[in-house]
């Protein structure tokens, strides 16, 4: 799917339409922060089902080679070791996931593939040429040989912490997110007044149930997110990742 990054929208733009939808432009029901949180939750759910925002984060590699997964990082897709002022292709090393990784620096690792044994995917060439990691109890644990590098780049699905005015939301997600806000508002309000239950049921059906052969607003957004151009996706990744520094 070809599209322009200039057409992307921000949380604030989605919120403006959503507030009108629930008749709360003056924030008489909930605070602005609460509403922005609902948009973010909707975005996170969309990104879980059909990842459309890929980011990277550069962090220092701890001396014990045990790195706590940074806040906001989930579904790690790739990992690179690097040293110096920046992560460049020529000097970086890709880190591979390996079952039964070490407990930290000095403990070596207990990979299933022992020295001299064949591997149908990665032929054995000596541990000095291979860089491994595993994840245990919220920590990324690296093999000893990784200690020769000072930094690690994590490539993952997620969002930066402050994204209020950043245009990164695909335009075809607008209706699904407006519907998500509407459903969340009436869900919360029905505990105050049972009369809102009817509005909540209508809002939920409008968001998640399609009409005839037409997909629901949510299903349409998920379907379209899966078709985003790689070029557009990479541009968004670079733009948002700069906010981590």
What DSSP element (H or E) covers 78?
strand 74-82
Size (the chain), residues: 245
Least Cα distance to 67 among 3, 171, 143, 12 occurs for: 143
pLDDT score for 31: 93
Q: pLDDT (tens digit, 9 = 90+) per residue, 86-129?
A: 776 667 888 888 765 555 555 544 444 455 555 555 555 555 56
Report whether 101 contacts 146 (CB < 8 A). Answer: no
Least Cα distance to 99 among 77, 114, 80 occurs for: 114
Least Cα distance to 146 among 59, 69, 64 occurs for: 64
Q: pLDDT (tens digit, 9 = 90+) per residue, 214-244?
A: 889 999 999 888 876 665 656 665 655 555 5
Q: In b/e form, how buried is each residue of 195-218, taking b as 16+ CB within 10 angstroms? A: ebeebbeebbebbeeeeeeeebbb
| Stated pTM of the model | 0.68
Q: pLDDT (tens digit, 9 = 90+) per residue, 135-170?
A: 888 888 888 888 888 899 988 877 666 666 677 788
- The mean of the pLDDT values for the chain is 79
What are 82's strand-pairing partners?
151
Q: pLDDT (tens digit, 9 = 90+) per residue, 164-194?
A: 667 778 888 899 999 999 999 999 999 999 9
Q: How far is CA 126 from CA 23, 167, 222, in A?
A: 65, 46, 43
Strand 132-136 and strand 96-97: pairing? parallel
Residue 29: pLDDT band with limits 50, 70, 90: very high
């Amino acid at each position: 799917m070809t599209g322009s990054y200039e057409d992307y929208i921000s949380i604030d733009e989605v919120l403006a339409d959503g507030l009108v939808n629930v008749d709360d432009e003056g924030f008489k029901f909930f605070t602005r922060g609460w509403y922005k949180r609902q948009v973010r939750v909707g975005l996170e759910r969309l990104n879980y089902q059909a990842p459309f925002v890929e980011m990277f984060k550069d962090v220092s590699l701890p001396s014990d080679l045990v790195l706590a997964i940074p806040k906001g990082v989930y579904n790690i897709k790739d990992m690179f070791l690097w040293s110096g002022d920046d992560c460049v292709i020529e000097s970086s090393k890709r880190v591979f996931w390996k079952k039964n990784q070490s407990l930290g620096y000095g403990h070596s690792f207990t990979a299933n593939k022992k020295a001299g044994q064949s591997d149908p995917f990665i032929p054995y060439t000596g541990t000095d040429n291979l860089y491994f990691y595993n994840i245990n109890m919220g920590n990324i644990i690296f093999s000893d040989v990784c200690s020769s590098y000072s930094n690690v780049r994590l490539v993952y699905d997620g969002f930066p912490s402050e994204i209020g005015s950043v245009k990164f939301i695909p335009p075809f997600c607008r209706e699904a997110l407006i519907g998500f806000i509407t459903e969340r508002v009436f869900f919360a309000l029905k505990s105050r007044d049972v009369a809102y239950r009817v509005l909540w049921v209508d809002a939920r059906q409008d968001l998640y149930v399609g009409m005839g052969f037409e997909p629901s607003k949510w299903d349409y957004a998920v379907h379209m997110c899966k078709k985003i151009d790689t070029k557009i996706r990479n541009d968004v990744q670079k733009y948002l990742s700069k906010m981590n520094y």
